[in-house]
Amino acid sequence: MKKKTLGSILLLIGALIIFGTSWVAPWWTSPVWSSAPPEDFEGTAWAAFGPIFMLMSIGVPIGIILFTIGILILVAARKTSIWLVMILAVLAVMSMLYPPTIAYYPIVFGIGGGLILLFFFLTVWFWIKNRKKLADNQKLASDFQFLSYLFFLLLAIQLCAILGNPFSGLYFPEKVLRDASIPFYYSMGLKIIFYSVLAWLFTFLSHYKWKKHTQ
């Protein structure tokens, strides 16, 4: 089998697994799990950490690894790049599964938020420098790229607010209930989805325009 064919097969299988377990399956499982309290599913295939739950939990990590291997084969990456990307991909996948529970460390959100802002500003600074050198027909693709950065930043800020807020974050459910702020957090959740969609939309549009003007 040619490497290109193998890469395409692995990429497709990985993409189908990711799509199936992270988007298609929840349309089937969510109505079931929301129909009754968790204890009603004990001893069945629908139980927490039961077979259905575990298949959905490990589906995305396995899909990501296969997807990444397929991409590396297709782009004919060097061995050093392959090992580096695969190690980071495996670590990223493991981070999705472990640890299942962890204490609340506000300083992590503080340090992480600071690093996100630092990398954002540095990225934009280099983006400004690079945009000046582009041809006019390439600048729209670059502008879409900037918009994707902006919405990824807004996404990160919302996540820090919903999870890292020491006054009423989701780690303090008693405060959320006391202040009747659940609708507020649902609103933030909708913003997170909205920003995510726009961030990936503008990422796609930037690559689409680059492809169009470099053919």
Q: What pLDDT does residue 197 have?
A: 96
Q: How far apart are CA 169 and CA 160, in angstroms?
A: 9
| pLDDT (tens digit per residue) in 125-143 | 999 999 999 888 889 999 9
CB 71 within 8 A of CB 11: yes
* Domain regions of the chain by residue span: 3-97, 106-214
What burial class does residue 195 get, using C-beta atoms within 10 Å of its C-beta: 0-12 exposed, 13-18 middle, 19+ buried?
buried
Cα separations in angstroms, 101 against 96, 97, 150 = 11, 10, 31
The fraction of the chain above a pLDDT of 90, given in percent, is: 34
| pLDDT (tens digit per residue) in 165-206 | 766 666 677 777 777 777 877 888 899 999 999 999 999 999
Assign residue 102 a region: left if phi > 0, alpha if psi is -120 to 50, beta otherwise?
Answer: beta
Cα separations in angstroms, 127 against 121, 133, 136, 145, 202 = 10, 10, 15, 9, 15
CB 123 within 8 A of CB 152: no
- Provide the token pair at 150: 């902006």
Q: What pLDDT does residue 169 have?
A: 66
pTM beyond cutoff 0.85: no
